Amino acid sequence: MMDDVDVTCMKTVETFRHHPLIPKDVVVSGWIWEVETRRLRPPVLDDEKRARTDVTSAQFGVTTPQPNRWR
């Protein structure tokens, strides 16, 4: 689990895009699978575009933020 899948996805895509072993003509993209809505969508930073479901992690017993993995 991660605190923000959209940001994590964007950072991962950028890491692959700039990796020296991946040719520049290779298309690298990332997508978010929303289990709650059974929908595939591109990562976005706009909260309104993301907030299309009323499901939260707290409903599943997750009450604390996940550790920061990008430092």
List the pLDDT tens digit at each of the 71 positions of the chain.
678 899 999 999 999 999 999 998 999 999 988 877 777 888 888 877 776 655 566 666 777 776 676 55
CA distances from 23 to 9, 17, 33, 65, 66 (A): 20, 8, 26, 36, 33
Residue 40 contacts residue 52 (beta carbons within 8 Å): no
